[in-house]
Amino acid sequence: MSRGSLAVSHLTVAYDRQAALRDIDGCFEAGSMTAVVGPNGAGKSTLIKTLVGILKPVRGRVVRQDFAARDVAYLPQAAEIDRSFPITVTDLVVLGAWRHTGAFGRVGRDVMARTADALRAVGLDGFGQRAIGSLSAGQFQRVLFARLLLQDAPVIILDEPFTAIDTRTTADLLALVRRWHGEERTIIAVLHDFDQVRAHFPRALLLAREQVAWGPTAEALSPANLLRARAMAERWDETPDHRAAA
Amino acid sequence: MTLDALLVAPFVDYGFMRRALVACLSLGIGSGPIGVLLMLRRMSLVGDAMSHAILPGAAVGFLVAGLSLPAMGIGGMVAGLAVALLSGLVSRGTVLKEDASFASFYLTSLALGVLIVSLRGSNIDLLHVLFGTILAIDGPSLYLIASITSATVVTLAVVYRPLVAECFDPGFLRSVDGRGSLYHALFLVLVVANLVAAFQALGTLMAVGLMMLPAAVARLWATTLPGMIGFATLVAALSGFIGLVVSFHVSLASGPTIVLTASLFYLVSIVFGRGGLARRILSRPRFVG
């Protein structure tokens, strides 16, 4: 899979004329696996939403190479989905096959088989008929990953996929992300756990409302760069959050 | 009094009771699913606002054709859609959230509607517009209500999947299908159409009665979406039937009695429903020993 590189050129995104991100410039190469990190309020989700097309940049642009907007599988932050909605696990996962079923097409036997496979892959075999409201946060995140599996997209963008998720689930889902990396899909993930990033993500983008560093993880997350990011965060925040850049 | 005289005779003996009953059953079939989807989108109050929004259009219809329900229906449809469209534009173009712009528009519409009706009509006419005339529903009005219900059911069956997907996870639908906002718009059209149908029976102030109360009741009992839709339809139909029977025998105003019957279902469900108070209190963990 050589398609799927995502270039951003001099990207600036603003809310109410207040720049949330300034002059981001670089490229998520096809098949690369990049962690987006930075202090709270650094613009990580803003960047993700701009890449996906939910937000429009005021300057600069995002260039997709050889793939359509629909070829991006996007996992929003957990809080953005209503977990009390009366829908079963299977129905949710089947949505991932939208490119095949469309809005009106039949859900065939192949889609149902792939759904069962995906549930097995995330360790939820036999959960198909459960209502999503009866799942734990970790199980629900597994369901969303099953939907990503069904989407079978060349580019996968994850916004805080492991926040408030138990360690066992995190390990299982991280293994899935690494499998996608092995399949040469392009992966972009917002993360908080620096050890996790260093252990599993070859590349990192360090943000603090602007681009502090972007490159191989060891270089991008050097102590000097982290210090710089924290100093920048303290400048925009009177009461700095000490965990933020740690 | 025999059961037959109590439950069946009013509808056998009087044509207006039969027409009212058919109108209620029809409203339930259309409004039940619409109400459930509105509630799940957290738009219950938007439905309420929309029902007031149809008033000025209905009032213009009244000015032109008197108490002709089809004329008022068409006017109401136009006004409701205009307000839905304008609120969407305002919330996108200004700092106001959608609920705030809906609230502003519906107050404006209500005032405007009452003013227009008062221009020509009497206080009785105003009462009819505000609270409906379910016992005065004639053939043409019944056809209009039934047509709206039929169109609603067919449309829902066709766009069920994208509608539910848009309701559950709009961000996801937008990322896989560019027509997300189209389905949302179609849904709003269905909401307005059903409110116009209910307006004939229950008036602008209670048109949402058979839409939101049964939906809330269904939410307290059913666990699946199809279950909720079926339950809401059943509750709406039962409320219509019981409400009509009670109002007939006790000589109460029919519209409010129907809505209050639905309210009664709601109160009982709050306490005894699957997601209700009794279950919550009884299943609360307690320290032992």
User: For residue B54, what are the domain limits?
Assistant: 3-274
pLDDT band at A237 (very low <50, low <70, confident <90, very high): low
Asked if the Cβ–Cβ distance from B176 to A98 is below 8 Å, we say: yes
Provide the pLDDT for residue B48: 84
b or e along A215-236 (b: 16 or more beta carbons within 10 Å of the residue's beta carbon)? Answer: bebeebbeeebbebbbebbbee
Out of A72, A86, A104, closest to residue B175 by CB: A72
Domain count, chain A: 2
Nearest 5°: the CA angle B255, B260, B266 is 140
The ipTM (two decimal places) reads 0.80
Return the closest-CA partner of residue B80 out of B38, B111, B50.
Answer: B50
Residue of B158, B161, B171 lying closest to A76 (CB–CB): B171
Examine residue B54 and state whether it is found in any structural domain, yes or no: yes
Pairing outcome for strands A6-15 and A18-28? antiparallel
Contact call for B164 and A74, based on CB within 8 A? no
Is residue B210 within 8 Å of B29, Cβ to Cβ?
no
Contact A55, A44 (CB under 8 A): no
Residues A243 and A124 in one domain: no
Is the minimum CB–CB distance between B159 and chain A shorter than 8 Å? yes
CATH number at residue A226: 3.40.50.300
CB hemisphere CA count around B76 (13 angstroms)? 31
What backbone torsions phi and psi does residue B235 show, to the nearest 5 degrees? Answer: -65, -40
Minimum distance, in Å, between the CA of residue B168 and any CA atom of chain A: 7
Residue B169 forms contact with A (CB below 8 Å):
yes
Q: With 0-12 CB in 10 A as exposed, 13-18 as middle and 19+ as buried, what is B154?
A: exposed
B167 interaction partners in chain A (CB closer than 8 Å): 85
The 10s digit of each residue's pLDDT in B235-257 is 999 999 999 999 999 999 999 99
Any idea how long chain A is?
246
The alpha carbon of residue A108 is apart from the nearest alpha carbon of chain B, in Å, by 15
- Looking at the domain assignment, is residue A73 inside a domain? no
**H or E segment and range at residue A211:** strand A211-216
- Chain A: nearest CA to B172, how far in angstroms? 7
Same domain, A172 and A161: yes
**A60 phi and psi angles, rounded to 5 deg:** 75, 180
Residue A74 belongs to some domain of the structure: no
CA angle A25–A27–A29, rounded 5-degree value: 170
Do A142 and A130 belong together in one domain? yes
- Going by pLDDT thresholds of 50, 70 and 90, the confidence category of residue A240 is very low
- How many domains does chain B divide into? 1
Task: Specify the length of chain B in residues.
Answer: 289
One domain, residues A95 and A204: no
What confidence tens digit (pLDDT) does each residue in B152-192 have?
999 999 999 999 998 898 888 888 887 878 888 899 899 99
A125 conformational bin, left if phi > 0, alpha if psi -120 to 50, beta if neither: beta
Q: Do A81 and B228 lie within an 8 Å CB cutoff?
A: no
